Chain A
Amino acid sequence: MLKYIGKRLLRSLLTLFIIITIVFALLRLMPIEGYFQNFEKMTPTQIQVGLQQLGLTDPLPVQLLHFWQNAAQGDFGVSHKYRVGVDVVEIISGKIPLSLSIGMSALALALLLGLPLGILMARSTRTRWKIGDKLGTVFVVVIQAIPAAIYYIFIQFYCSQLPGFSMFVDAKQPLTWVLPVCSLALGNIAYYAMWLRRYMVDESNKDYVKLARAKGVPTSEISRKHVFRNAFVPLVQFIPTSVILTLMGSLYVESLYSIPGMGGLLVNAIQLQDNTLVQALVLLYAAISIIGLLVGDILMALLDPRITLGRKEGGR
């Protein structure tokens, strides 16, 4: 098992390395305005000097080498537009705890609501009119088919008029955090409910469930001990996707509610064309996605005895 985890970790590091390289190379294609604070007023010689100071006139491989050397020391450059001259690591690290707590609460909420909804839908498929299943499916379809951006807007606009809620987050009022967290969780709720339902319906048609019924195991115990548990395990492989969903959702939600987190920061940095900040944030986002995938794979290997060393290596 340790060997599997080690291998998997190494692979993630390699992936991260390649992605960082690609992103770095891509951002060299950017217009150079993004490196200066008052580009319009500068003379060509000033620009040239500035570029040289930043090491941007060197050939690409050399730049890359420098970038790696600095990155290894935790130096990702300084911001040129957002907060001039401030180390981007400093800017970002101040925002991580907030984004992390919002993202985590949204994920927890999604599990808390999505799993019961999935169970409810799966149970309802065996009733006569399947009302629960139908209503749940409508919810899943609406959430999955309509762009998240649109329902975020509507939730913000209409729900913020309820007493206690607000269009913007106020750190001192806990109620104002409810809307952004719920918005962020919605996509994952639909996602978990949909897959849990599907897996539970699949599992309950399997032979071992029939054998358990033939054994005389009560239905409630079958759905708890056999169906739910077996349907839950493959759900682990959706952790990476839901991390990604939350990450991308946070971009929108944080800037909508003026939450001073990473998501809002990235949107800001893009609008300001602050290259170093964008670069660092994109790398951070990619890294989080890769970690999500790693965690999902390791959890899967821990929960499912059938996955042994190396057998599931190489992607999902």
Chain B
Amino acid sequence: MPNENAILSFEDLEIEFTLRGQVLRAIRSVCLDVYRGESLAIVGESGSGKSVFTKSAMGLLDANGAITGGHIWYEGKDLARYTTEKEWRAIRGKEIAMVMQDPMTSLNPLQTIGDQIAEAVRLHQDLKGGAAKAAAVEALAAVGIDEPERRYKQFPHEFSGGMRQRVVIAIAVACRPKVLICDEPTTALDVTIQAQILDLIKILQKKLDLTTIYITHDLGVVANVADRIAVMYAGDIVEVGKCEEVFYDPRHPYTWALLSSLPQLGVKGQALYSIQGTPPNLFHEVHGDAFAPRNPQALNIDFVERPPLFEVTPTHKARTWLLDPRAPKVEPPEHIRQLRQKGGYLHG
């Protein structure tokens, strides 16, 4: 059973997709707790399954995808057993809401933004007619849009990208959810707008007592907003811990590689580190540690058996054989060691 502090708890979750007769294992037996009121960031490169993972908690998998094992616990209910649309509608929006990546396409181009917000208000706040409109205008004001009355009647194409993302957030928040999933909320935006949007989400989180889950490949975003980080690779969470634990004392070779490729850690005059190779093809069965073929310091066992989640501290876990007592001592790369010193994790 799930941890009692967790509002949302994934237990051995498995998700498979069927594409033209081939089975793709998108999520391979993943466990993760999301604690009430925290903000958790799920980090990984594109195609690692982070989006699919969170979408499964809202029943938004594409038609060819299905949960084939495990549980998703939400307030004592197992969402993984949900099948009908009626069951899901009690969750979607009302309990868990979502902000999607591309604000340019996530609004209906032929409806006024007011109508689109009011739609959410009517569904989840039990308001009708003028009251719904008033609530929608209020939501617009709450996300920092000037002249909400006038903007209410406008169409999405009359808004800039950042403004549209504010509207999308307004829609999500208008549902009064408990959990807010932000799927790459700033990827499609200008750098100058990104910080504003993140601040907005942070403010709303405090004000409305939300639990937020960020999905991102941008470690800069993570450092800004996250209490905890989960690192995802090839459909599996390889390392999870508090923000500073993962940043300053990473244990999984993939996390090392990911952090090493941060431009901020690069040395002037030297080529920026990049991870060799490509992620594995999930149509084929993955043996052992999925990252092993790209890891110069992989152990033999990495190709044979999947590592368990080793506990570094009670809050910090990693899925690598390097943490096994039998494993040889492997030093992380130079700049990761520097990070450790900065964070005071010298003896980690």
Contact = CB atoms under 8 A, between A and B. Distances in A.
A/B contact in complex, CB under 8 angstroms: yes
Interface string B28-62: 00000000000000000000000000000010100
A210 to B, nearest CB: 7
B60 A230 contact: no
Contacts of B172: 214-215
Most buried by B among A218, A233, A303, A305: A305
Interface residues on A, range: 20 to 34
A226 B107 CA distance: 10
Contacts of A216: 89, 91-94, 120, 123-124, 175
A152 B120 CA distance: 50
A226 B111 CA distance: 9
Interface string B89-121: 101111001101010011111110000000110
A306 interface: yes
B112 to A, nearest CB: 9
Nearest to B91: A216
A304 interface: yes
A172 interface: no
B102 A215 contact: no
A262 B58 CA distance: 59
Contact of A214 (B60, B102, B109, B157): B60
A219 interface: yes
A206 interface: yes
B63 interface: yes
B107 A233 contact: no
A306 B109 contact: yes
Contacts of B303: none
B106 A233 contact: no
Contacts of A213: 60, 92
Contacts of B111: 226
A241 B122 CA distance: 41
A212 B108 contact: yes
Contacts of B102: 207
A126 interface: yes
B52 to A, nearest CB: 13
A17 interface: no
Nearest to A211: B106
Given A305-B155, A305-B157, A215 B105 contact: no
A208 B156 CA distance: 11
Nearest to B109: A306
B110 A215 contact: no
Contacts of A305: 109-110, 155, 157
B92 to A, nearest CB: 4
A229 interface: yes
Contact of A230 (B85, B89, B110): B110
A206 B92 contact: no
A199 to B, nearest CB: 12
Interface of A: 126, 206-208, 210-219, 225-226, 229-230, 233, 303-306
23 contacts: A126-B63, A207-B102, A208-B105, A208-B107, A208-B108, A211-B100, A211-B168, A212-B108, A215-B120, A215-B172, A216-B91, A216-B92, A216-B124, A216-B175, A217-B119, A217-B123, A218-B89, A219-B85, A226-B111, A229-B110, A233-B110, A303-B110, A305-B110
